[in-house]
Amino acid sequence: MIRPLILFLFLTSFPVHAAVPKMDTFITQLMAKMTLEEKIGQMEQYTAEMAVTGNSIKGDYRDEIIKGRVGSILNAHGAKFTRELQKIAVENTRLKIPLIFGYDVIHGFKTIFPIPLGESSSWDLKLMEKSARLAANEAAAEGVHWTFAPMVDIARDPRWGRIAEGAGEDPWLGSRIAEARVRGFQGDVPGAQDRVLACVKHFAAYGAPIAGRDYNSVDMSERELRETYLPPYAAAINAGAATVMTSFNDIAGVPSTANEWLLTDLLRRQWKFKGFVVTDYTAVNELIQHGVAADEKQATQLAVRAGVDLEMQGGLFTKNVPALIKEHKLNRALIDKSVRRILEAKYKLGLFNDPYRFSDEQRAQPIVMARDKMEHAREVARRSIVLLKNSRSLLPLKRASTIALIGPFVDNQRDVIGNWSAAGDWKKAVSLAVGINAARAGQGKIVTAQGAELVDSKGSTDALINEAVTKAKNADVVVLALGEPEWMSGEAASRTRVRVPENQQALLRALHATGKPIVLVLFNGRPLALELENEMADAIVETWFLGTQSGHAIADVLFGDYNPAGKLTVTFPVNEGQIPIYYATKLTGRPFNAKSKYTSKYLDASNEPLFPFGWGLSYTNFTYSSVQLSRDRLRPGQKLKVSVTVTNSGARDGEETVQFYIHDLVASVSRPVKQLRSFAKIFLKKGESREVAFELSLEDLKFYNQAMKWTTEPGRFKVMAGGNSRDLKEASFTLIN
């Protein structure tokens, strides 16, 4: 016999561990006791405040919790603080429904890993899954139930600062990375005590704002939306993501937060999503600024009708939903559906069984910044580094040499952990100077100079440069650490000039004039236009913002203790005039021809990027055989084996990422000139060869035809293989339907 519901509620500060009934029964019984006001309260999320002295919450928000008008708190973390907040909800409200705590655990919680764009350059799905798992492990131990990650927005415009938070420009690779990160955050079943709920964001096409300006409008064809921008969201949802966040932007004039086609028809009916939808911060309120709602009441109506379940921070649902229901402008059944989804998430987290199960200070102590986190932070950081250039094999460095370590990032700890660094303590980050000094093990000599400030400061530039030049003249090699400060990328950090700041470029020019060989170590959150740097530096090492173990990881690569194997997941332009630039462009009726003016090209620059998608050098060399196909005709039900033999033809052992692309030569709509369809990471000893293969099926060849049907069409296809999207071997076959 099932005991009355009240026996399962929490009446003291100590959790009652009696089992609750099965989910559907429990939630049905609970909702039957809820007033409309209490139901709407579950649809509201408010923010805690973060200060130097710790977390706090406004008094009026505390009162709202007591009144049952809050279902979730964001930016609350720490086992002690979340326990205090949870105690308010389960001891001072009528129905004692626990809160759910959400936080932006983007690339680590307290142990910080590389920014997602950097980590994606590892092309190591298991490693990325592990990063998410370890981040979840720390966050869950500190009272966090839910992360607002992964961000899976495809981005092809480096002016957009939030490109730092995603996996780059390719929808196929972005989908695989989205799946890996969801698995890492959530595990197999939502609710494990060492995992958190994932939130796929920002739905949808947030990474394609016009002019690369954050929060700006998005306008594209339905085919482009479905083929390029939607796949990573769908992949994350298929991987089991528990929640989805709406994007700030509109798509073709309809803001995502008010887009019923997007949130209900596509997400729930077509993709069968069962979790709940949360808005981004005050996105419901912003429907007024979008010009689709006349006032807050209409904004509320549009959002709830579209399919929003939980409102982040705006406070409009409590204010307006009761009146909208009374006026028959909203159906009460919509509210019940939203509340059930939110309560189901709390049930799956085990919060009705024990609301404090994620808020245990003793459990947190041995988990946070533990040895396994530090070891992984170093490993994933060095695997995320991309060697862009290495003229005359300047790298790896010789430990016995005299190194001039110069630049504003030499002793920098704050910027190396990047933006969206959660609860990370930058004072615990390893600087480049510390990493290099530890790695040289007392050999050789290191001289250091700041050389420049992060951004121009009047009166200091000449003196800093002169000091740096003097020290460089007495060194064998210059290691020059330049880049963007972390605040130049991320949210609300769009830039029209995606370059190293001018005062830092002045330092580069002065050092280049000394004639000393220069190893440029870049710190940045986006692709940069590196025309000057490529001309003046002998070697360029892209390190992104690598996190807590940054200095050690970079030193591992610079001294050759680790042979770099990172590959770009986003294209680097020659200059800003090429933007947006990406590898999967479509054909044009007048393709580039250097001998003909009236073809698609620039008068003042090449069409080609400086560094293409998939690019990344090694301290060894890899050669590719011709591409072999198991058949020259592919029919429905068959698979085509595509293989290539890769040889390590250099003098060191190393790892290569073998990339496979396709091109549909003739179709009813113009197709991209290349599309990634598979890759394999292989480790080869010097002189070793290995065959690498993948199976191509009809599913790999599908696209949206003129009738917007997801299908294949018969005809000729190219298959290409190589170490980047530019330098490829190819073969062809015929698809016969």
Q: Band the pLDDT of 10: cuts 50, 70, 90.
A: very low
| Mean pLDDT, range 482-508, rounded to an integer | 97
> Where is pLDDT greater, at 10 or 582?
582
> Where is pLDDT greater, at 538 or 587?
538
pLDDT at 62 over 90: no
Question: What CATH homologous superfamily does 38-364 map to?
Answer: Glycoside hydrolase, family 3, N-terminal domain (3.20.20.300)
> Where is pLDDT greater, at 543 or 361?
543
Task: Tokens for 468, please give them.
Answer: 């740096």
Residue with tokens 């920014």: 115
Task: Tokens for 734, please give them.
Answer: 């015929």
Task: Tokens for 482, please give them.
Answer: 């330049």
Closest to 284 measured CA to CA, from 307, 266, 253: 307
CATH class of segment(s) 377-578: alpha beta
**Percentage of residues in the chain with pLDDT exceeding 90?**
92
Q: State the average pLDDT for the chain.
A: 95
pLDDT at 369 over 50: yes
pLDDT at 398 over 80: yes
Say what the pLDDT of residue 51 is.
46
Task: Tokens for 511, please give them.
Answer: 């050092």
pLDDT at 6 over 50: no
Task: Count other C-beta atoms under 10 Å from residue 560's C-beta.
Answer: 16
pLDDT tens figures, 565-593: 999 999 999 999 999 999 999 999 999 99
Say what the pLDDT of residue 20 is.
80
| Mean pLDDT, range 495-502, rounded to an integer | 97
pLDDT tens figures, 247-256: 999 999 999 9
Q: Which residues of 83-99 are buried (b: 16+ CB within 10 A; e: fewer)?
A: bbbbbbbbeebebbbbb
Closest to 523 measured CA to CA, from 585, 480, 491, 466: 480
pLDDT tens figures, 628-666: 999 999 999 999 999 999 999 999 999 999 999 999 999
Q: Band the pLDDT of 190: cuts 50, 70, 90.
A: confident
Q: What is the pTM of this model?
A: 0.95
Range(s) within the chain of domains with CATH label 3.20.20.300: 38-364
Q: Band the pLDDT of 16: cuts 50, 70, 90.
A: very low
Residue 73, classed as helix, strand or coil, is strand
Say what the pLDDT of residue 737 is.
84
- Say how far apart CA 238 and CA 152 lie, in whole Å: 14
Range(s) within the chain of domains with CATH label 3.40.50.1700: 377-578
Give every CB contact of residue 45 below 8 A, 6+ residues apart in sequence: 70, 71, 72, 73, 74, 102, 278, 310, 311, 312, 313
Domain 622-735 has CATH 3.40.50.1820: no
Q: Band the pLDDT of 61: cuts 50, 70, 90.
A: confident
| Residues assigned a catalytic role | 280
Kind and range of the H or E element at 693?
strand 689-696
| 3-state per-residue secondary structure call for 550-579 | HHHHHHHHHCCCCCCCCCCCCCECCCHHHC
pLDDT at 416 over 90: yes
Residue 476, classed as helix, strand or coil, is coil
pLDDT at 18 over 80: no
What are the start-end ranges of the H helices in 331-431? 332-348, 361-364, 371-384
In eight-state DSSP terms, residue 669 is: S
Say what the pLDDT of residue 563 is.
98
| Mean pLDDT, range 46-60, rounded to an integer | 68
**Percentage of residues in the chain with pLDDT exceeding 70?**
96
pLDDT at 461 over 90: no
Upstream peptide bond of 32 is cis (omega within 30 degrees of 0): no
pLDDT at 55 over 70: no
Q: Band the pLDDT of 306: cuts 50, 70, 90.
A: very high
- Say how far apart CA 131 and CA 134 lie, in whole Å: 5
pLDDT at 322 over 50: yes
Say what the pLDDT of residue 540 is.
99
